[in-house]
Structure 1
Amino acid sequence: MSSEINVTYRVARPLPAAQEAAWRSLIVEMAAEVPEPEDVEVVITDEFDKVVAEYLATEVDLAFDPTLATQYRAARSDGARAAARTSPQPGGKVVVAASIDLFVLGLQSARHCLLHEAQHVRLHQHGDVAHAVHRRVPFALPEDEFTWEFLWRAESAIDEFRCERTVHERGWTDPGNVNGPLDLNGVLDTFRAVRAEYRRTDDQMRAYEGAFASLDRLATVLGYGAAALVAGVTPPATWAHVPAMGRVLDVLEGLPGTHVVLPREDVLATATEMAKRLRRIFQELGFDCYFIGDNGDRWFAVN
């Protein structure tokens, strides 16, 4: 079996020799981090959104209708922008789409990011990824506590925490990639913007989409921030007066990095508790989503 990751370049013009050499070096490091590198492909591209959308359409355990894959955008609600994404595909293949913009902030930042993505690959190949774990373990949604929207985001936060914890514990940290309270404040601003727009337009669907896009980002920032706290990269005092971190830290801090394979039932139990905490934060920010009636209908509210 090969010990190398497959690499595909989807770029309009060849990369500079120095950058291509840097990619090769980092991908060798990635290969050492994944159990089955021969089943991994890294797609280096200058059309990141388009490439991610293509793989999203065939991704295993999508959280949404595959026809919506073309709507993927790397830009996040707070202005942050994704530069890499791991996508599990049928047949055990895992694709990591990586933008050539990954090197804009330098080699250390690119290394941090790609080795983080390697941990996502590890979780998929070990079979204890939190994403969609509720589909792999018998589960009944506690409808009086949260809706599916919160569980998906809780699962994502768990995976981000475990991958980022590993990055820090292995000494790969790029300080520029460490999320702190200022990053969270930027996300909180987006919730305020969603509420303000709703007051102007009364467009409930647009508010729903905006609020949950912001919750996506909030879950990621809290997962990243908690990982840096637990790994000792960020001093505890940094987050001491941030209520949202206080809500989730005790749920996440007991989770190990990606080197430990967790029972799926344990991952699901943690995701269930995390979903409750995320809903509570959502409510504190003036939003809610809950079931009404007996038909599984949901209601989104802006308070």
Structure 2
Amino acid sequence: MHTKKILVTGANGQLGQCLQEISSVYPQYDFVFADRTLMPLDKQAQMAEYINDIQPDIIINTAAYTAVDKAESEPELAFAVNADAVGFLGELTAQKNIKLIHISTDYVFNGEGVTPYLENHSTAPINIYGASKLKGEQLLLAANPEACIIRTSWVYSQYGNNFVKTMLRLLNSRESINVVNDQVGSPTNAMDLANAIMTIAGQEDISGIYHFANTGVISWYDFAKTIGREIKSACVVNAIPSKDYPTPARRPYYSVMDTSKISLKLKTEIPDWLSSLKKTLDLLQHTG
């Protein structure tokens, strides 16, 4: 029997590293993990050659240009990686009948919603990063309607740079910190997302857009306060409005996504944000 081969791009990112960690749980697949040297998303000829060499059955595209603020001054690069390359991947996978799972973001929405965003809710990004990711979705589905897009939000893990690791460092080293309290969303543990992706990879009909995040809604301030409480930090967390913490890229105020569609697809409950946060804090405190 043919062992299916999975190519994971963005191997060194948070999600890529989580997929590496759990790959041994899926012996039915041969995994190939490619970083940007092997699979540079801004070099299409090299991408095509690499995919020809590997001949994967499934591609999980976790690679992206994710520097949200930097994207404001590097729009060409952001669009090359997050849009053009994704459209090109769509063309290649459609030609070769490769199953493609692509990761997108809550930033495709304008953040002015008041109820959780459904997959078909109208999009209107308010920064370059969000605009480049939305363009990638559009180009991908135009080139390969069979592709699967998973939008996620507020991703963190024990790997890479993320809000949880930054807060741990600050909460352990400062007397007080300021965190915005008017941006709300749902944190996503990258390990939970990795497991969801692997469940979907094993299914037949995966086409279309899905939303995945841990359940529950909080602000960044609540998130920071909770981390402080869990690690028994004496650092005082102060709530501030976004206008007092200006950044080059605007951030959506409301990033909550409805995850009922993917929950049905996975045939399982998605873990709540607090239990998933505790798992990551345990890992970070024992390894940190």
- Structure richer in helix, relative to its length: 1
For the criterion TM > 0.5, the same-fold answer is no
Q: Which has the higher contact order (CA 8 A, sep 6+)?
A: 2
- Structure richer in strand, relative to its length: 2
TM-score w.r.t. structure 1 length? 0.28
